[in-house]
Amino acid sequence: MYTTAWREYTSAGRRERIRAKYGIDEEFAQRANQAPYFSVTVDIEERRGTRWYDAGGGADHRAAARHFPELKPYLKWHLFSVGEGPMHYLENAKYWWEKMAGISRWPKSVGEPDPEKAFASTVVLGALPEDAMPPTGPEDWPIVEVWLKGRLPTLLDAFERDMEELKAGTP
């Protein structure tokens, strides 16, 4: 994992700073007995007087993209497991696809994201040149599942290429 230097800025009249942590999290994967995955998170602190205090962070990818534009092309790979693909690829894809298709047994929750955007993020839609939203008719899941499984090897290759590119550009 890499950690950037702090970058200071002003937000709503307050002095703040942010740093990004990114890379393949091998250490956590070993502790959790799981495949290593790529992660991008941020730490945000606010200055009060002469001291810095925690002001948030985590997987705030809007803040990461704003303050670390060099990481923006890689944000789509957050929680992408090495050799496996997006975390819970088929299960999460089916959950959001059913929400899009209007056949989910789960009620909409407060603050739930747009199902189409959540599906696209879950399957890293747009990472491949040939990507297009799959059909969302109530009977189309078998077609979508075949599509998801078929694109996974190419998705894994694209991830590996991007990770090599990121590694080569990392100090």
Residue ranges covered by each domain of the chain: 2-82, 87-163
pLDDT tens by residue, 68-88: 999 999 999 999 999 999 999
d(CA 30, CA 144): 33
Whole-structure pTM value:
0.88
Residue from 73, 66, 43 nearest 55 by CA: 43
> Two tokens at 44?
């945000």
Cite the DSSP H helix spans in the chain: 26-32, 61-67, 89-101, 115-122, 141-169
Give Cα 57 to chain centroid, integer Å.
Answer: 14
Amino acid in the structure at residue 165: E
d(CA 19, CA 6): 5
pLDDT tens by residue, 97-146: 999 999 999 998 899 999 999 999 999 999 999 899 999 888 999 999 99
